[in-house]
Amino acid sequence: MAAARVTRDVFGLLPDGRKVERIALRGAGGFEARIMTYGAVIQALIAPDAKGEYDDVVLGHDEFAGYLAERKFFGATVGRYANRIAKGQFSLDGETVQLAVNNGVNALHGGLDGFDCKLWEIADIDQGVEPAVTLSYVSPHGEENYPGRLDVRLTYRVTSPAELSLIMQARTDRPTIVNLTNHSFFNLEGAASGTSVLDHELTVAAEHFLAIDPSAIPLPEPPRAVAETPFDFRAPRPVGERIREFDQQLRNGRGYDHTYCLARDGELALAARLEAPRSGRVMELFTDQPGLQVYSGNYLDGTISGKGGKLIRQSDAICLEPHIWPDAPNRPDFPSPRLDPGGVYRHHSVYRFSVRSS
């Protein structure tokens, strides 16, 4: 067994000449997470299969140029507000805030130049038994028109032979909203396998989901029960088993692109389990967030190539994004994304890898 360790290299250069570093966190048994300072991206996640062979399980690019060429959020840290805000507008303490709209008429994933496009600073590296890197970014007041300076720190840590922990924290100097997530695209058969995730077995620990309109904004109604719908993943079943059924919600999302409502009170708990049929890889996602966006890669259209030179096509990956519910600034009945001075925004998620038991 190789000792747990951390290495770092220069992965690329920004157009202005600034260096983009990549930090590799290596577990004792071969598990490895490679983190890029641009966008605080999970650039690679190397996990074992049932035969003991290791492969990268997150989509992205082998070279830095691919991340700059087109904004697809592969492995990125998304903020200030993950998911959508209707019409890019919300009210805070009686003042209307107008954000840039970048997803039809709505604001998506932090706007035109979100946290996924920023060069984060390396604040700390832990070379111990549980190797870790802490990255930081300061978002100034008015960036993308969000109120308040936001000081963000996140830590990626390998916490077991095949487990990656992500802790995000943020503080502000005036009232604002914040909602962060990681936007990794998972294929547990391998990032360059060229296989669909529709045969991956998915379990989601949720009784309800948010129905959406055709622009992916939650409808003005309470969360819907998953029971007797194609959105019921309380027991494991293939992602694609019912994805082509005639269902208005599947039409609105072009597949799954919906928030599941997780029953938790800020405590870390199992949100989802994903299992690949051929490799036998299993990923369990634990989070303390109130929502989980399940996105079946509906807008991947084969126009760009990813790792191994493979074209990235629809259903080549699935995203499991823990965060506060979309459009929550406009929905007092939703969990609140508000952050005030003196308070601390916290997000903790854990990606635990194992193999199918025989």
Q: What are 24-58's pLDDT values in tens digits? A: 999 988 999 999 999 999 999 999 999 999 999 99
What are the tens digits of pLDDT across the range 198-223?
A: 999 999 999 999 999 999 999 999 99
Give the pLDDT confidence score for residue 358 in this predicted structure: 65
Give the pLDDT confidence score for residue 3 in this predicted structure: 61
How far separated are the first and last CA of the chain, in Å rounded?
Answer: 24
Q: pTM above the 0.85 mark? A: yes
Residue among 41, 46, 103, 118 nearest 73 (CA):
41
3-state secondary structure at position 203? strand
Residue 190 scores a pLDDT above 60: yes
Give the pLDDT confidence score for residue 1 in this predicted structure: 47
Residue 138 sits in which domain range? 5-355
> What are 273's two structure tokens?
């389990």
What are the tens digits of pLDDT across the range 9-21?
A: 999 999 999 999 9
Interval 344-351 mean pLDDT? 98
What are the tens digits of pLDDT across the range 142-188?
A: 999 999 999 999 999 999 889 999 999 999 999 999 999 999 999 99
Split into its structural domains, the chain has a count of 1
In which band, very low, low, confident or very high, does the pLDDT at 106 lie, cut at 50, 70 and 90? very high
Cα separations in angstroms, 192 against 58, 64, 189, 306, 317: 9, 17, 8, 8, 11
What are the tens digits of pLDDT across the range 248-281?
A: 999 999 999 999 999 877 899 999 999 999 999 9
Catalytic residue list:
183, 321
In which band, very low, low, confident or very high, does the pLDDT at 117 lie, cut at 50, 70 and 90? very high
Sheet of 19-26, strand order:
5-13, 19-26, 32-36, 41-48, 54-56
**CATH code of the domain in which 132 resides:** 2.70.98.10
